[in-house]
Amino acid sequence: MSGMTIDLTGKNILITGTTSGLGRHFALTLAAAGARVAVTGRRIERLQDLCAEIAGKGGHAFPLALDVQDVQSIKQAVEASEKALGPIDILINNAGVNGAGRAIDITPEAYDELFDTNLRGAFFMAVEVAKRMMSRHKNNPQVTGKIINIASAAAHVLLPGLSLYNMSKAGMAMMTRALAREWGRQGVSVNAINPGYIETELNSEWFHSDKGRAQIATFLRRRLNQAGDLDGMLLLLCSDSSAIMTGAVLDVDDGQSLLALG
């Protein structure tokens, strides 16, 4: 994005999974670009702290309790977001869990937990928001909406010990293309970002261990990515500069997926 300034002033963005990690970073980044953001998750106190931080930097954010495994919770959160901020212009489907473990050890309960979060939740979030976007587009063809799914390099590169995670992210990549094809003529663009390994509070301890540093040494550029490395692609997809992009599943991983991850 060198030489470009992305101004999202006037845009209303709903982000799932913003209590920590990438979702939290996305909220800060998009609010700094001028967007009004609805931050969501199950730990409401963290959302309130995030909103206070955004407000302290001159931004605007609104906290919403959301459990993406619950379709009724999804409907309530979308309704509350539009009541508080106005029509949703952009949805960032970010909520997810990794579900580490050998396939033979995975219980039906663990399977449902991961897929209900990573794929089922993302699907019904997209559907609930897209219905509203399509209705507005029908009334005014100049009004369009954007959905951005946060998938993973695991969508197409096997991460050992993460069979369910790989399966869910591969599903999200295909879901992105399917929804883009179905909704393209109704004013809704759907794209996805495939991050590689990015340092977050959940994995920081591992990557600073001897084994974690050894893993980093196997990466193409022998370095770990940071959340901010996704900012350029995120801002592009949220901006009018991506008007002709839909159905794209974009690797943003510093070349990690060119080698065998894991």
Does some domain include residue 1? no
Q: In the predicted model, is pLDDT for residue 261 greater than 90?
A: no
Does some domain include residue 46? yes
For position 222, what pLDDT does the model report?
92
Mean pLDDT, the chain, integer: 94
Average pLDDT rounded to a whole number, residues 68-93: 98
Active site residues: 165
Q: In the predicted model, is pLDDT for residue 3 greater than 80?
A: no
pTM for the predicted model, two decimal places: 0.94
Residue-number span of the structural domain to which 145 is assigned: 12-251
How is 189-228 classified by DSSP, letter by letter?
A: EEEEEEE--B--TTTHHHHTSHHHHHHHTTSTTS--B-GG
* Sheet strands side by side (includes 36-41): 60-65, 36-41, 12-15, 90-93, 145-150, 188-195, 249-252
Rounded Cα distance, 215 and 210, in Å: 9
Rounded Cα distance, 186 and 23, in Å: 27
Does some domain include residue 26? yes
Q: In the predicted model, is pLDDT for residue 202 greater than 90?
A: no
Does some domain include residue 5? no
Does some domain include residue 218? yes
C-beta separation of 245 from 177 below 8 A? no
For position 1, what pLDDT does the model report?
39
Residue 215 neighbours by CB under 8 Å, 6+ apart: 207
pLDDT, tens digit, 9 for 90 and up, residues 141-162: 999 999 999 999 999 998 888 9
- In angstroms, the Cα distances linking 218 to 77, 84, 151, 259 are 42, 46, 22, 8
Q: Which of the four pLDDT bands, split at 50, 70 and 90, describes residue 262? A: low
Does some domain include residue 2? no
Does some domain include residue 261? no
203 compared with 164, residue with greater pLDDT: 164
The total number of structural domains that make up the chain: 1
- CATH code at 43? 3.40.50.720
Does some domain include residue 257? no
